[in-house]
């Protein structure tokens, strides 16, 4: 079994798979999002998505 699938199965938490270094590499098939911390491309979108995921989980737990 693929490691990512094992992790998703084992832990009941939202998981965001982000590929970094998109400025120097090919797209990653299993990634939910991509970014380059060198150029800043996609970083803000990843942070926004993470913030939404955290606030959604917090809202469910309240």
Give Cα separations from 8 to 5, 23, 37, 55 (angstroms): 5, 28, 25, 20
- How high is the pLDDT of residue 1? 53
- How high is the pLDDT of residue 52? 95
User: pTM, whole model, 2 decimals?
Assistant: 0.80
**Structurally, how many domains does the chain consist of?**
1
What is the Cα–Cα distance from 8 to 18, expressed in whole angstroms?
A: 15
8-53 residue pLDDT tens: 899 988 999 999 999 999 988 889 999 999 999 999 999 999 999 9
In which domain, by residue range, is 55 found? Answer: 3-61
Give Cα separations from 31 to 19, 27, 35, 46, 60 (angstroms): 6, 8, 10, 12, 25
Q: Are 27 and 34 in contact (CB under 8 A)?
A: yes
- How high is the pLDDT of residue 10? 93
């Amino acid at each position: 079994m693929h490691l990512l699938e094992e992790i998703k199965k084992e832990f009941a938490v939202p998981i965001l798979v982000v590929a970094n270094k998109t400025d120097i590499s090919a797209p990653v098939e299993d990634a939910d999002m991509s970014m380059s911390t060198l150029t800043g491309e996609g970083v803000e979108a990843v942070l926004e998505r993470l913030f939404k995921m955290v606030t959604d989980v917090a809202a469910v737990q309240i």
